[in-house]
Amino acid sequence: MSQKRQAGFFDRSRDRKSEITTLTHDYPAGTTIPLHFHDRDQIVYASRGVMTIRTEAGTWVVPTYRAVWIPAGISHTITMSGLVAMRTLYLKPQLVKGLRDCCVVNVSPLLRELILHTCTLGALKKGTTSKNHLIGLILDQLHVVEMIPLQLPHLSDPRARRAAEVCTENPGDNRTLSQICKKSGASKRTIERLFQQEVGMTFGRWRQQLRLMQAMRLLAEGAKVTHAALEAGYSTPSAFIAMFRKSLGTTPTAYFNAPQKDSSSL
């Protein structure tokens, strides 16, 4: 999905010479970084907590030990669920050519250590052999990252958007699509067609994604699996665990407590 730059303040890089610059910051739960954009691509890693990134195109949830790729020029907000330890690398545009849109990615053990180590250095500028090798390793790892399905695309048609808003206001609401359609001013068939046309998924699949992302935020804030599942609209904890495993390849408990596990095995 193409993404256009929106309004928002321009966070310009002060270091124009370094290939990679960094940011290390911890944020209290509930903090929101307001709408802004950068002149560099960035990989934002959560070593603790869960981040929710919103752009004009969609919403991405970034669990602990994962990261989000945000291209230069894309306006976004970041909201923290739980205490968030954010570690960010800012890269000169075009250093990583394969990542053109926002996406959540698994972070391999090697990439994780590279991010953490680079953040202790502050910036990386080509020159010495060791710095050149470090930059090369980071780029190699970013070229092979595995994307994970934690995106909720936004809709543009007013009827579909109204149906989506009913769900996002309360992800745990179990009203049927027919009941939701009464508030959106469109038939069930029309809403299903609009969701397929605009975001390439059924309304039901979109709603499942919304609920999965809501449950992840609750888990990051310390909720138990049972509470997170029921609050997010799942009929039983086992239904939530089954959906979680189908989408992400493991259980919620294992997902949030295995930083040392190689993401390629998920």
Q: List, for residues 153-187, the tens digit of each pLDDT value.
A: 999 999 999 999 999 999 998 899 999 998 788 89
Cα distance between residue 1 and residue 20, in whole Å? 26
Domain(s) labelled CATH 2.60.120.280 in the chain stretch across: 9-148
pLDDT score of 129 = 87
Report the pLDDT value the prediction gives residue 63, as an integer from 0 to 100. Answer: 86
d(CA 192, CA 206): 11
CATH 1.10.10.60 in the chain, residues? Answer: 155-265
pLDDT < 50 regions, the chain: 1-5, 260-266
Q: pTM for the whole thing?
A: 0.84
CATH homologous superfamily of 9-148 equals: Regulatory protein AraC (2.60.120.280)
CA 264 – CA 145 distance, rounded (Å): 9
Which stretches does DSSP call E strand in 28-100?
32-38, 41-54, 58-62, 66-70, 76-91
Structure confidence at residue 7 (pLDDT) = 64
pLDDT tens digits for 182-217?
878 889 999 999 999 999 999 999 999 999 999 988
User: In angstroms, rounded to a whole number, what is the distance separating the alpha carbons of residues 259 and 106?
Assistant: 11
177-184 vs 188-199: helix crossing angle, rounded to 10: 90
What is each CA distance from 246 to 152, 221, 250, 265, in whole angstroms?
17, 23, 8, 14
Q: What is the pLDDT of residue 188?
A: 93
Q: Tell me the fold of 155-265.
A: Arc Repressor Mutant, subunit A (1.10.10)
